[in-house]
Amino acid sequence: MIIIMKPNASQEAVNNITTTIESRGLKAHLSVGTQVTIVGVVGDKTLLADTNLELADGVDKIVPVTESYKLVNRKFHPEMSTITVGNTSIGPGNLTIMAGPCAVESQEQLMETAFAVKKAGATFLRGGAYKPRTSPYSFQGLEEEGLRYMKEAREATGLMVVCEVTSMRALEKAVNYVDMIQIGARNMQNFELLKECGKAGLPVLLKRGLAATIEEWLNAAEYIISEGNERIVLCERGIRTYETSTRNTLDLSAVPVIRQKSHLPIIVDPSHATGVWSYVPPLAKAAVAAGADGLMIEVHPCPERALSDGPQSLTFANFEGLTKELKPYASLAGRTFL
Ligand code: PEP
Ligand code: MN
């Protein structure tokens, strides 16, 4: 449940409420808005049955929160969150472009791509060092060597770097090299890994599971936030449907749905959603029009030679063309990017 304080409630009244909640063994989370303060209560609310909180000084009303996710719920935090990562921020007003190869393949490939995507307007370099491949015989990633190249590319370009982790061991290594941790679709419900990401101290990009509902996805985010890490960005990357013309089906409705249900920023990945490079630009534009806070796009110096996801990767020229074309869409949506 949430306790909405009156606009003129004193700090003392707010403190009294949080003290009562915590004295019963529940957790109180404050959301201090420009107009009102909201106290979110997490835990078994029957323990508050005899406290008459609705009559307490400064309380306007108490609203039950029926959803199973609480701290990521917009009812707990009505203002949109902006997630800061190094010198950039993801949230209202910005269109954050994350771009780079599916997999880090070599130092040269990554460095060349990093400079190209930066020139075209990206602020994040993406690149997988631990690749969750369908076949165990496909390229699995350069692991720590790949993380090292990501860090070198970051130092050379000033781009923030985001890298997927597929295990606790990968997470332990990645925190030493990257600015943001990515949890991929296949691990969206790896709850132990989510909890460790909650404790790792780095922002997390949480992709939607291959067949996850929005509620399951928000509960996955709740696992991270409930460990104390509020810096979470959601990424819609397509879901499994009966359609086979595209790799997945981009669920663009997730953007307004998430906007209403959660305060967390949401970006869209049209590359993994479609699996076909020529479908990426129209869906990137549609995502911006739908209100996405950013895009994740796969870019490769030579897609036909890519060790993974070549068919969906844009060339440097195509990526630059896309970012140019995105400018008017971004400005119509009230967003700016470099
Ligand atoms: C990726 O971004 O490299 C990736 C594997 O994506 P997803 O988890 O969405 O399949
Ligand atoms: Mn990929």
Range of the domain at 53: 2-63
Supply the pLDDT for residue 32: 92
Q: Hey, what are 169's tokens?
A: 């061991």
| Contact (CB, 8 A) for 62 and 45 | no
Q: Is residue 34 part of a domain?
A: yes
Same domain, 12 and 49: yes
Q: Per the domain annotation, does 78 fall within a domain?
A: no
96-100 and 294-298 strand pairing: parallel
Pocket test for ligand 1, best of 266, 269, 295 (most atoms within 8 A of CB): 269
Does 314 lie in the same domain as 186?
A: yes
Q: What is this structure's pTM?
A: 0.97
Same domain membership, residue 106 and residue 49:
no
Residue 258 Cβ inside 6 Å of ligand 1? The answer reads no
Q: What is the pLDDT of residue 146?
A: 98
Examine the domain organization and report whether 50 and 194 are in the same domain: no
pLDDT of residue 337: 86
Same domain, 208 and 311: yes
Q: Same structural domain for residues 301 and 152?
A: yes
Task: Give pLDDT, residue 35.
Answer: 86
Q: Is residue 110 part of a domain?
A: yes
| Angstrom distance (rounded) from CA 69 to CA 74 | 10
Q: Is any atom of ligand 1 closer than 6 Å to the C-beta of 265?
A: no
* 217 and 273 both lie in a single domain: yes
Angle between helices 107-120 and 144-157 (to 10 degrees): 40
Strands 59-63 and 37-42, sheet pairing: unpaired
Q: Which of 63, 98, 113 is the last residue in one of the domains?
A: 63
- The verdict on 181 and 54 lying in the same domain is no
Of 32, 63, 94, the domain-final residue: 63
* Rounded distance between C-alpha atoms, residue 99 and residue 161, angstroms: 10
Which ligand is in closest contact with the Cα of 308? Answer: 2
Q: Would you state the pLDDT for residue 34? A: 86
CATH number of the domain where residue 55 is located = 3.30.70.1140
Q: What is the mean pLDDT of each run of 10 residues along the chain (338 residues)?
A: 95 96 95 92 92 94 95 96 96 98 98 98 98 94 98 98 98 98 98 98 97 98 97 98 98 98 98 98 98 98 98 98 98 92
338 in a domain, yes or no? no
Q: Is 207 in the pocket of ligand 1 (CB under 6 A)?
A: yes
Q: What is the number of domains present in the chain? A: 2
| CB 185 less than 6 A from any atom of ligand 1 | yes
- pLDDT, residue 235, reads 99
Domain contains 73:
no
The answer to whether the CB of 160 is under 6 A from ligand 1 is no
- Location of structure tokens 């909405």: 4
Whether 263 contacts 77, CB under 8 Å: yes
One domain, residues 169 and 210: yes
Task: Using the 3D structure, point to which of 29, 63, 97 is the last residue of a domain.
Answer: 63
* Domain at 161, CATH number: 3.20.20.70
For residue 68, tell me if it sits in a domain: no
- DSSP for 17-68, written as a single string: HHHHHHHTT-EEEEEE-SS-EEEEEES-GGGGTTS-GGGSTTEEEEE---SS
Q: Is 184 in the pocket of ligand 1 (CB under 6 A)?
A: yes
Task: Please report whether residue 255 resides in a domain.
Answer: yes
Does 107 lie in the same domain as 29? no
Q: Please identify, by atom number, the ligand 1 atom nearest to the C-alpha of residue 309.
A: 3
Does the residue 76 lie in any domain?
Answer: no
Q: What is the pLDDT of residue 338?
A: 73
Is residue 187 domain-shared with residue 326, that is, in the same domain? yes
Residue 208 near ligand 1, beta carbon < 6 Å? no
- Looking at the fold, whether 212 and 158 belong to one and the same domain comes out as yes
The pLDDT, as a whole number, for residue 33 is 87
Residue closest by Cα to atom 3 of ligand 1: 102
